[in-house]
Structure 1
Amino acid sequence: MPWITYLPGASPLVLDSPHSGTAYPEDFRHACDLKTLRRAEDTHVEKLYDFAPALGVAWIEAHFPRSYLDANRNTTEVDTGLLDGPWPMEVATDPVVLSKVRLGKGLIWRATDEGLPIYARKLGVEEVLARIRNCWTPYHAALAQAIESAHARHGYSIHINCHSMPAVASSHATDFPGEVHPDFVVGNRDHSTSSEALAQRVCSHLRARGYQVALNHPYKGVELVRRHSDPAGHRHSLQLEINRKLYMDEQTLEITSGFDDLKASLRSLVELLLATDPRVL
């Protein structure tokens, strides 16, 4: 099966969902039970934005699960202790990056958000390289193409990297275990992946609809916004985290009554961004 969906758009806006995949590959061979693994998903995020392609918005979606390969990590973020042989590619040395790898949240997850081991085996080097070829590379290529096409048509692009977050941070999920999350977190890596004005416009719009919104804490944005942004060249990327309590039961993964209101708010945000030229903010 194809591991990503790419729907080209005609507008300056590009949306992507790297963590909502629910197709678990046969070669995963995980020891952790599926119910526990599924709590790592940004479950139903693709449904929250399913209106977007009809508005001319480009859409990229991963079908592989985040715990199999995290497209929002660099290929250097490899936990070499997971492997049965020497890793042939570059490995990250940045302490900030390595803090996530130590939590078990690198390119290939070692542990769940609760710290439970995912594998009872070593992973083959070629096995991990194949995951990069089949999942990471086509995902990033599709996103790059969508952003380049939007920018070529309009002279600017706005990219929203779509995520969800638990109501309360798990023990091994972030550097802030136990933190109670707001309704939304907008991230642009301290204004390095988008203009501050664009980030503030998104925050203001959501606050005006009654939501609690934080900017760059505890999620600043990771590889997808870092790699595919260039605000000085009018390529703006923002990460948008939605609190799962707004639309789903975190234990059963069932959609709740708040789903439709949240979806309407997201549609209003997309419509705002379609009418926004960040060059004149």
Structure 2
Amino acid sequence: MDAWIRVVPGTSPLVLDSPHSGTVYPEDFRHACDMGELRQAEDTHVEKLYDFAPAMGIAWVEALFPRSYLDVNRNVTEIDVAMLEDAWRGEVASDPKSLAKVRLGKGLIWRITDSGVPIYSRKLTAAEVEARIENCWRPFHEAVGKAIDAAHRRHGWCIHIDCHSMPAVSAPFSTDYPGLVHADFVIGDREGTTADPRLSKKICAHLEALGYSASYNHPYKGVELVRRHADPAHHRHSIQVEINRKLYMDEATLELTPRAARLKADLRSLLAMLLETDPRRL
């Protein structure tokens, strides 16, 4: 295990990753934001919801560092250079979608929390950001890529699930839809480009049969992890799964609620279905 990543190899065609559930805050973070406010950025307890997966032979990759320190679901070019005290030597994103996220304060290194509170009272150095990329971003993506390669090599196909959670109601600075009341699940495949849409819709149908509401590609389509690691033409399917936090936790206290037990059982049912679903035969 890398110092900031937990990896459990698998034997099945499924790979799961949890990029935003980390709660180990590095000493060099040096944030000025209140910890209670900062912790709202976490996909708290997502790793617990899927803790049964390795026993099913499913590979698991988990970030232990927090999302607010470095967001591995953003591209390394999504740098807010205004946050730095010195020059950034790398490439900087120029496409409209990436620029919009950076301006919102939610690039690779967050500037503000979802409610708009500044995270730092200082400028960061380019060396700090480079170190976070080398210690956190690169190892995480390498681990996910290796797990997908291994699963595909064993079975000739792979389903990669990028595991997330979302607040019941979108915060002011979290998405382009502040105040949106979220469905129970949001299933994203970047408009059918990172997975066969029939597979994504099968996930939606399975969840709906269990009594949940499921939205497809709205408001979350999937970002860097599914974009970077998907290749559906060669039977590598990547899908982002967002779970509404009201289904398993108290959003104010961050405590798990009794409803989490039922949710875990239903997630087990979902993964069991996917283990029996060869995307080549949809």
Range class of TM-score, shorter chain: over 0.9
The aligned residue for residue 78 of structure 1 is 79
Distance 2:228 2:177 in 1: 25
Query: Which residue is 2:111 aligned to?
Result: 110
Q: Distance in 2 between matches of 1:148 and 1:85?
A: 38
The alpha-carbon deviation at position 78 of structure 1 amounts to 0.5
The CA deviation at 1:272 is 0.4
Residue-by-residue CA offset, 1:184-217 (whole Å, 9 max, x unaligned): 0000000000001100110000000000100000
Aligned to 1:194: 195
What residue number does 1:235 align with? 236
C-alpha distance in 2 between matches for 1:83 and 1:120: 12
Tell me the equivalent position of 1:220.
Answer: 221
2:116 partner SS: coil
TM-score by length of 1: 0.99
1:6 matched residue in structure 2: 7
Structure 1 distance, partners of 2:103, 2:153, is: 40
Paired residue type of 2:190: R
Once the two structures are superposed, residues 215-258 of structure 1 have per-residue CA deviations (whole angstroms, 9 ceiling, x without a partner) of 00000000000000000010000000000000000000000111
Aligned-residue offset at 1:152 = 0.5
Counterparts of 1:113-152 in structure 2 under 5 Å?
113-152=114-153
Q: Measure the CA separation in 2 of the matches of 1:233 and 1:198.
A: 15
Partner-residue secondary structure (3-state), 2:37: helix
Query: Per-residue CA shift, 1:79-117, capped at 9, x if unaligned?
Result: 000001111111000111111111110000000000110
Q: What secondary structure, in the 3-state scheme, does the structure 2 residue paired with 1:39 have?
A: helix
Residue type of the alignment partner of 1:223: E
Q: d(CA) in 2 for partners of 1:190 and 1:36?
A: 33
Distance 1:122 1:189 in 2: 34
What's the counterpart of residue 27 of structure 1? 28
Name the aligned partner's letter for residue 218 of structure 2.
Answer: H
Q: Which amino acid is 1:206 matched to?
A: L
2:268 corresponding residue in structure 1: 267
SS at match of 2:145: helix
**What do residues 47-97 of structure 1 show as CA deviations (whole Å, max 9, x unaligned)?**
000000000000000000000000000000010000011111110001111
Q: Tell me how far apart the structure 2 counterparts of residues 99 and 273 of structure 1 sit (CA, whole Å).
A: 34
Structure-1 residue corresponding to 2:162: 161
Matched ranges for 1:234-253 at <5 A: 234-253=235-254
Q: Determine helix, strand or coil for the equivalent of 2:160.
A: strand
Give the match for residue 172 of structure 1: 173
CA distance in 2, matches of 1:92, 1:233: 28
1:93 alignment counterpart: 94
**Letter aligned with residue 192 of structure 1:** T
User: Percentage identity across aligned positions?
Assistant: 66
* CA RMSD, 1 decimal: 0.6
Equivalent position SS for 1:164: strand
Q: Which contiguous aligned blocks of 4+ residues in structure 1 show a shift greater than 3 angstroms?
A: none
Residue type of the partner of 1:257?
Answer: P
Give the AA of the match of 2:4.
W
Alpha-carbon distance in 2 for matches of 1:97, 1:133: 21
State the distance in 2 between where 1:256 and 1:162 align.
Answer: 19
Q: Which letter maps to 1:40?
A: A
Counterpart-to-counterpart distance in 2, 1:67 and 1:235: 29
How many matched pairs? Answer: 281
Q: Tell me, what secondary structure is at the counterpart of 1:240?
A: strand
Q: Which residue of 1 aligns with 2:278?
A: 277
Counterpart secondary structure, 1:242: strand
Query: Could you tell me how far 1:41 is from its partner in structure 2?
Result: 0.2
**Counterpart position of 2:210:** 209
Q: Distance in 2 between matches of 1:265 and 1:150?
A: 24
Specify the code of the residue in structure 1 equivalent to 2:230.
S
